[in-house]
Structure 1
Amino acid sequence: MAYTVVGSLTQTIPRILSQDEQYYPISDEGKQLIDSLSNKVALLRGFLDGSKKEKASKEEAEEEGMSLETRIREAANRAEDIMEHFMYEHLKVVRSKAVVERTDILYDFRELQIVLKEINSIAEEVERIQPEISGHPTILLSETEAPIIDTVTVGLEKHDVASHACPNKDPLKMALMDEDLSFSLLKQKVFPNTELKPEMNEIAWDVAKNCGGLPLAIVLIAGILFTAERTVISWGKIAEDVKDAVEKDDKFGQRIALSYTHLPLLLRPCFLYMGGFPEDHEIRISKIFKLWIAEGFVKDENEAEGYLNSLVRRNMPTITAFKSNGKFKTCNIHDLVREMSKSKAIDENYERRMSIGHPDLTGLARGYASTLRSVICFQPNDSSLRSLRKFKLLRVLDVVDTDAYSLPTTVFDLFHLRYLAFGCPMEVPSAISRLQNLRTLIIRPTKRSRKYSTDEVCLPLEIWMMPLLTHLVSFFDLLPNPEGAASALKELLTLSVVKKLICTKEMMKLIWNVKKLAITYFGDKYQEDYQLKNLVILSQLEKLTLFVMKGSLLQVKAKPVFPETLKKLTLSGWRFPWEDMKAIAALPQLQVLKLRDHAFEGDTWDTNEECGDEDYEEAEVNLFLELKYLLIEESDLENWVTEKRHFPALERLVLKGCGKLNEIPNDIGDISGLKLIEVDRFNEPLLKCVYEIQKEQDGYARVLRVRQL
């Protein structure tokens, strides 16, 4: 936790210095004080990174190191609190157009001088001993080293040994296993296809035995072994830790806690954040990434993905669902691991910065309002939101499930807010632009909002005045016409679920960097040309969803032109003729294609017609070159004429609600990478056809799975 706070402080210091000219003047003395703090913090971060110099004994080093870490954590917390309170209070003064006196500025930094004395004392201690702590490496797995999980087989096969030992039960809550089964489970998780040297094999046996037959303990310790260096010294140290845990406490908790003890410092706050979610809560991966970024744990989603992969390799979160592109969609934390996480959060004073699921914000404000950075509510009431004015340092505020009709106006004074999610039947006020540090804005519908909101609710024009906005998700608001008073949202990567977006050239140039775009149109209210041909201007776009409700748009005006950068395309309700598929088939990077609710209409889809050559056998085929996932859902398709060469990369085919489609070409089964075909269980003729294709492939010693939906 000390590492996390120091890392956060290193981000806050340049922020206060870079923004002082705009929001608050800082005296030369104040700047010198902050510069001095910055230098000392850099030294402390180097110490926490694991700087190794000569010292006395290892045991003394560990003891001194833990004491210093606690002092560093407390001092860094105080320093950051002081500076962020200063920024908040003086911004309020500026906004109220009051006069800011230099004496006020100097006075506010006197408390920081006191903290700096403590930090100087700690720094002197660090420079004196520079202990060789036995800590943990901070090198993380790269994105290319993601956990190897076969996404298409999840839920199909009997992610093991434990389930065989005790069928029909949760393998992580089953009765105790004997030593043979314990070792088998450990082997499966750590080295399933490798024979170890005798000395390494002996260590693995010792580890399995000392887990006491507890499957969850075995899985978590396996995660430690899997990510550790595969040497006798490294594994031997882990085996000693497991043995020590058994000797100190024969209960389960000590052995579970080892997974945290061996966790790299950079991963600890990410894990504690996940552990704060309620019991049995399905955590959306995309959400947790945004929260980590808002808190400053990671710089972007690529780094967040690497961190998550590292945690998954350690079996600390459990992946519960996958996206169509094979990436993780949701996860959860086992109850016992969650309890361990909560305990560690208390030990490391982490609850002063984060509150997830607290039922009473008013009570929370009495204890932690001056220090909390994250408040995520699941069942708050209207009155509790009034206490938000006290949470001056918030970076994350999620009150999607609030019963309120509107957010308190004081929310828009939360200068440090980076992530705001709410669900209210109201128009977003123009004051939203006061949140100049906001990166993520999510407006989700609640039962009340669905009842009272209309299709014509607009986001304020001031939304164009938020230069750091990165993710905008609005389920019932329209994006306003910029009216020439806007600047480009250069940082915007996600613009999702907006309604009736008119894709003028001017609009596209204002969101030119967006990577994910989702738009809803209403066919029965068609009044104008939505200029979808200009989508091609979005040269960074990777994911596009175009959804039509209540009838078809006029195809002549509404026909989109897609940028070649698209990797995922979802179309719903458009009723395009199948011959229009040619433009989609030619997209060179398209990996996922979802066709829902009569996206295309007509009884025959012949991909040969998309080759552009009468001699199909000799034509050079450039169709769906990278497509791995194809979904056709709710379609009147009767005949699908195609060849394996038209889908060379296809891995997963889903046919749902295609009641008129009785068969697919046998050639589909010959696609070398195809792993899974999913078919609606009520379409018996199509099921029969698919099973015949599967049977034929079995004869070629290929594994092609079929799943009934």
Structure 2
Amino acid sequence: MAESSVSFLISKMDYVLTKEARLLRGVRREVQDIRDELESMRAFLREADAREQRDLGLKSWIKQVREVAFDVEDILDEFEVRIAEPRKRGIASFFKNLITRHRIANQILDIKSRVRIISERRVNYGFGETEHGSSGLFDAAIHHHRIGALFMEEDELVGVGDSRETLSKWLTEGEVSRVTHSVVGMGGSGKTSIVKKVYDSKMVQAHFECHAWITVSQNFKIGDVLRSLIRQFNEQGIGGMDEEVETFEVTKLIEMLRGRLREKRYIVIFDDVWSFEFWETIKYALIDSRNGSRVMITTRNSVVASSCVETLSDVYHLQPLPWKEAWFLFSKKAFENGCPEELKLLSESIVQRCGGLPLAIVAIAGLLSVRPKTLIEWKKVEDSLGSELENNPGLQGMKDILMLSYQDLPYYLKPCFLYFSVFPEDYSIKCMKLIRLWMAEGFLKSNQGLTMEEVGEDYLRELIDRNMVQVTNVDVGGRARRCQVHDFLHEIILSRSAEENFFASFAEHTPQSNCKIRRLAISNETQNSMVKNSNLSQLRSLFIYKPNKSSTIMEAQALISSFRLLRILDLKAAPIDRFPVELANLLNMRYLSLRNTRIKTVPKSIGRLKNLLTLDLKDTLIDHLPEEILNLQQLRHLLVYRYDMSNTSFDYIFGVKVPDGIGILKALQKVCFVRADRGKEVIKELSNLTQLRRLGVIKVKKEDGVDLCSSIEKMHDLRAFSVSSRDEEELLNLDSLFFPPPLLQCIYLDGPMEKFPLWLSSLHNLSSLHLKWSMFRDDPLQFLQDLPNLLQLELHKAYEGTQLHFKPKRFPRLKKLYLTQLDSLNFVIIDQDAMAKLEKMYIGRCRGLLAAPSGIEELSSLNGLYLYDMPENFVKRVTSEDGKDRSRVEHIPTIRSYYSAN
């Protein structure tokens, strides 16, 4: 993590040295020297990160590097704040500015001296001469765990029957060409143990003429791997004993292996593969003699797993243990004669926290098995799992295994992963919010051709692929919407964050009195005294979770004005009804959320926050923005809207009036929802927002349609938009959208239309379409049925006809269908092979519908039918045992009927 801090700082210093040279008058040379010295340390820090936990001297030195990097960042941020402050004329202001520059220059000289001393200390103590990679002690701990996984007893494997059967078939059945299979899962999920049992089975061993097992690990050398393969095959009589094999180059070793394996049916297991490069070299040594040879790798990285196989069907994703098996495994390890009744609830809570991870279940159960079987003693362990993980030798192996994944992260991902410590345990965060926070922190490296949001999506995807972040909710296309980390990983990163002064939560760890806190979460009233007595002058991020009393917020607001360097402030759901005026002085602010508060207006002083990237005012009572919002030239996400989900009428979205000139905010990526009833100029101004990815516009009049279409056509990167007319009677005129943005994926159209907008039929990337109050006279399906990527379709008061007809082989990828409030609809006809992949069907308030959709019995993928406010006789036809349509829906696993009144 020290490497991450230094790398981030070097990037920032490069920016300041090139873009903000006027800030550095008189100290530019010193800043450049500091940057160069830190650059020379960076390569060593990359290697040292893995060893610091076992080497106290090295750990102390790395801490000094980290602190000096933080201090340099503080000075640069103060520079930026100073330059952003309004300039005042006069002698007094001149001397004040001169004194400030002199003070900062002295701080830079002091830091330069500290950096030089730290650098010399590394040489004096020989840190740079340490062997690369993890320390011997750490390697020994990991090796011990791997040995245990390899020789796990049969009765210790729980809930793996299906996995073993599948993997056994993969190895012994199928095509004759050499096939590579991958087994992927989180560290500690049991990959090694399961694959070893399959590999050792009599059936698998008898099927192959020779076999080899190689543990690859992070620090593999390809020559060593090849020599190990040769030795194992030599022991089985495949080839002779070559004394010179230790001196052979990689190419010679590959040639030797190919020769010895020719015409042999072999099986090779590569356990614990971390990199793509490994397979790209080793595959050439494993000749394909088309006799059924097999290769299997285990890995924590989904991308590595897929890169080693021909098709994704050859990748086996090892899932967490189901609850029943997890409880059985825990009980088997923790109790001799079953779980005592008084410990049942607590034990179930502990197993729940293990998240189905066998390593965690076995480790925690083993720890508890030697503790007195009393509620007080076990509760003490549950409440202090974080410190147990940190200090208990019995859990060290589990911690080491989980930490391996963290240490393997590239430097740019480490702070992104540690950022999950900011959120409470078992907290599922919106992926887009997480990315906006990373952006505000400066974690996202610019990448040519990609927006910062896209870079953030790539970072998150990489963490997910490495099985370090769990996806908890996806959209209809499978894209992650919410995510979290495993509870035990959360405990580990909490400890790591506190140790590295990355994040402080007074509920979790009490920071040292001399510790400069840079990120802070406050969650209850009792912590206010701690906040007052802590060093918060360098605070960068402040999160206040679920504040239940106004006094908590009032005291926090009183302190906020002193947080001059604050970048992030999240006051979501705070009990406040006015915009805190203190915020106007936080000129370094990048992210501000007052979501779900009762504030009604935004002051003109908002214009001072010129560094703001995200302004989140969703679910507030704000209905207009001041003209000063136009000063926020870097703003990327403007969220000012709320939904009234209890309102079933047309006006369920509340947006905001924006000032004339909104088009000047050219950096905007998302803006929702703009009220169009302020005048034509607002609609025309939208045409200047050419970088928009998401747009929401409400209260559109018929005569504004041409201008709105013209504006949308200029948004070539638009991915989603929502447009609603002024009211349920006002026609929505979008016929002039001749050249819609080609990358559109999601569209919401609310309002009556004279005819179907034919441009919708040309959107081959469209995945989600919602048509409401359209009142089409012609069947809209005829225009939509050939969209190749449509996954979700909603028709709400969108059609006045009596029949909807889904024709053969149409809607090939549709997964979700919503048919609601189609008052005249009598019949739905589904031909054979229509909607072949449909999974969910929702039918609501279609009071004229006489029977279940004809052909619904052909929808073999349908796993859910949901009826909402449907007539009682219709519901009985579908759900009653003797219902007339019951036999046609019996194949659907889930059928639900519910009413808004209940």
**TM-score in terms of structure 2 length:** 0.59
Structure 2 equivalent of residue 460 of structure 1: 626
Aligned pair in 2 of structure 1 residues 126, 478: CA closer, same or farther (>3 Å)? farther
Q: Is the 8 A contact 1:662 1:685 kept in 2?
A: yes
Q: Distance in 2 between matches of 1:191 and 1:410?
A: 65
User: 1:278 aligned to 2:424?
Assistant: yes
Equivalent in 803, 827, 831 of residue 639 of structure 1: 803
Aligned twin of 2:441? 295
Matched, 1:580 2:756: yes
- Give the letter aligned to residue 435 of structure 1: L
Instruction: State the alpha-carbon separation in 2 of the partners of residues 511 and 44 from structure 1.
Output: 43
Q: Is the 8 A contact 2:676 2:682 kept in 1?
A: no
Map of 1:441 onto structure 2: 615
Distance in 2 between the 1:561 and 1:553 partners? 22
Cα 1:179–1:560 shift into 2, 3 Å: same
Secondary structure, aligned partner of 2:534: helix
Q: Would you say the 8 A contact 1:65–1:133 is kept in 2?
A: no
Amino acid across the alignment from 1:514: L
Answering whether residue 219 of structure 2 is matched by residue 42 of structure 1, we say no
State yes or no: 1:392 paired with 2:575. Answer: no
Of the candidates 403, 427, 435, which is equivalent to residue 601 of structure 2? Answer: 427
CA contact (8 A) 1:419 1:441 kept: yes
Residue 459 of structure 1 contacts residue 477 of structure 1 at CA under 8 Å; is this kept in 2? yes
Separation in structure 2 between the aligned mates of residue 190 and residue 392 of structure 1, nearest angstrom = 58
**1:237–1:418: structure 2 CA closer, same or farther, 3 Å change rule?**
closer
Look up the match of 1:205: 193
For 1:601, what is the secondary structure of its paired residue?
A: coil
Which residue of structure 2 lines up, in the alignment, with residue 701 of structure 1? none
From 347, 358, 376, give the equivalent of 2:543.
376
* Cα distance, 1:203–1:78 mapped onto 2, change above 3 Å: same
**Gap change, CA 1:330 and 1:66, over 3 Å in 2:** same
Name the structure 1 match of 2:24.
26
Q: Cα 1:181–1:650, aligned 2, differ >3 Å: closer, same or farther? A: same
Q: Pick from 158, 170, 179: which aligns with 2:156?
A: 179
Give the counterpart of 2:478 among 301, 314, 326: 326
Match of 1:354 among 519, 525, 536: 519
Q: Does 1:544 align with 2:721?
A: yes
Query: Are the counterparts in 1 of residues 612 and 632 from structure 2 also a CA contact under 8 Å?
Result: yes
CA deviation vs aligned residue, 1:367-392 (integer Å, no higher than 9, x gap): 24222211122334341222111212
What displacement does 1:292 show?
A: 1.0
Identify the residue that residue 171 of structure 1 maps to in structure 2: none
Q: 1:110 aligns with which of 106, 109, 112?
A: 106
Once residues 842 and 613 of structure 2 are traced to their aligned partners in structure 1, the CA distance between those partners, rounded to angstroms, is 40
SS at match of 2:433: helix
Residue 308 of structure 1 aligns to which amino acid in structure 2? L
Counterpart position of 1:262: 405
Change (3 A) 1:192 1:547: farther
Amino acid across the alignment from 2:192: A
Provide the rounded CA distance (Å) in 2 between the counterparts of 1:188 and 1:49.
Answer: 41
Residue 518 (structure 1) aligned with residue 518 (structure 2): no
Q: CA deviation at 1:656?
A: 4.6
Q: Note closer, same or farther for the CA distance 1:60–1:504 as it changes in structure 2 (3 Å cut).
A: closer
CA pair 655-292 structure 1, distance change in 2 beyond 3 A = same
Shift of 1:487: 6.8
Look up the match of 2:72: 79
Alignment counterpart, residue 531 of structure 1, candidates 707, 717, 737: 707
CA RMSD of aligned residues (A): 4.7
Q: Deviations over 1:600-651 (max 9, x none)?
A: 214641544x59xxxxxxxxxx942432332334555532235356535545
* Secondary structure of 2:779's aligned partner: strand
Say whether the 8 Å CA contact 1:670–1:697 is kept in structure 2.
no
2 CA distance for matches of 1:99 and 1:270?
41
Find the counterpart in structure 1 of residue 584 from structure 2. 412
| Alignment map for 1:61-140 (pairs within 5 Å) | 65-89=58-82, 91-92=84-85, 94=87, 98-100=93-95, 101-124=97-120, 129=128, 131-134=130-133
- Partner deviation per Cα, 1:338-384 (whole Å, 9 max, x = no partner): 33332221122212222234446854354242222111223343412
Aligned residues of 2:519 and 2:541 also touching (Cα < 8 A): yes
What corresponds to 1:616 in structure 2? Answer: none
2:854 to 675, 684, 689: 689
**Residue number in structure 1 paired with 2:841:** 678
Q: Residues 159-193 of structure 1, C-alpha deviation per residue, up to 9 Å, x if partnerless?
A: xxxxxxxxxxxxxxxxxx95222656987999996
Distance 1:313 1:192 in 2: 26
- Determine the C-alpha separation between the residues in 2 that align with 1:272 and 1:59: 17
**Letter of the aligned partner of 1:643 in structure 2?**
K
What is the TM-score with the length of structure 1 in the denominator? 0.73
- Counterpart of 1:617 in structure 2 is none
Per-residue CA deviation, residues 302-359 of structure 1 (Å, 9 max, x unaligned), is 2322322233234443322112332111123444443333222112221222223444
- Paired letter, 1:285: C
Query: Structure 1 residues 63 and 652 mapped into 2: Cα distance closer, same or farther (>3 Å)?
Result: same
How many Å apart are 1:664 and its aligned residue?
A: 3.9
Deviation at 1:690, TM superposition (A): 5.3
Structure 1 residues 385-427: Cα deviation after superposition (integer angstroms, max 9, x where no partner): 2211121211111113222233333312222211111145233
Q: Are 2:614 and 2:638, in contact at CA under 8 Å, matched by a contact in 1?
A: yes
Contact 2:476 2:815 in 1 (8 A): no
Distance 1:590 1:99 in 2: 58
Query: Which structure has the larger Rg?
Result: 2
Give how far 1:478 is off: 1.5
* 1:670 Cα deviation after fit: 4.0
**Cα distance in 2, alignment partners of residues 189 and 334 from structure 1:** 26
1:659 and 1:251 map into 2 onto residues whose CA distance is 65
Aligned equivalents of 2:89, 2:833: Cα separation in 1: 69
| Amino acid paired to 2:117 | S
Specify whether residues 646 and 60 from structure 1 end up closer, same or farther in structure 2 by C-alpha distance, changes over 3 A only.
closer
What are the Cα deviations for residues 186-220 of structure 1, in whole angstroms up to 9, with x where unaligned? 8799999668999x9998129999xxxxxxxxxxx
Aligned to 1:161: none
Q: Report if the CA contact (8 A) 1:488-1:509 is conserved.
A: no
2:461 corresponds to 1:309: yes
- For 1:332, the aligned partner's letter is Q
Note the C-alpha offset of 1:39.
Answer: 1.3
Q: 2-side partners of 1:184 and 1:359: how far apart? A: 47
Higher RCO (CA < 8 A, seq sep 6+): 1
> 2:219 corresponds to which residue?
none
2:2 alignment partner AA? A
Identical-residue share of aligned pairs (%) = 20
Which residue identity lines up with residue 428 of structure 1 in the other structure?
V
Q: Distance in 2 between matches of 1:686 and 1:292?
A: 51
Contact 1:4 1:297 in 2 (8 A): no
Q: How does 1:526-675 map to 2 (within 5 A)?
A: 531-534=707-710, 535-548=712-725, 550-555=727-732, 563-577=740-754, 579-595=755-771, 597-598=772-773, 600-602=774-776, 604-605=778-779, 607-608=781-782, 610=783, 623-633=786-796, 635-636=798-799, 638-644=802-808, 647-656=811-820, 658=822, 661=825, 663-667=827-831, 669-670=833-834, 674-675=837-838
* Structure 1 residues 51 and 460, CA gap change in structure 2 (3 angstroms): same
Rounded to whole Å, the distance in 1 between the matches of 2:166 and 2:473 is 20
* Residues 1:571 and 1:680: Cα distance change in structure 2 (over 3 Å): same
> SS state of the match for residue 306, structure 1?
helix
The total of aligned residue pairs comes to 614
Bigger mean CA deviation after superposition, 43-52 or 71-80: 43-52
Corresponding residue for 2:652?
none
Quick check: 653-662 or 391-400, which moved more?
653-662
SS of the residue 1:48 aligns to: helix
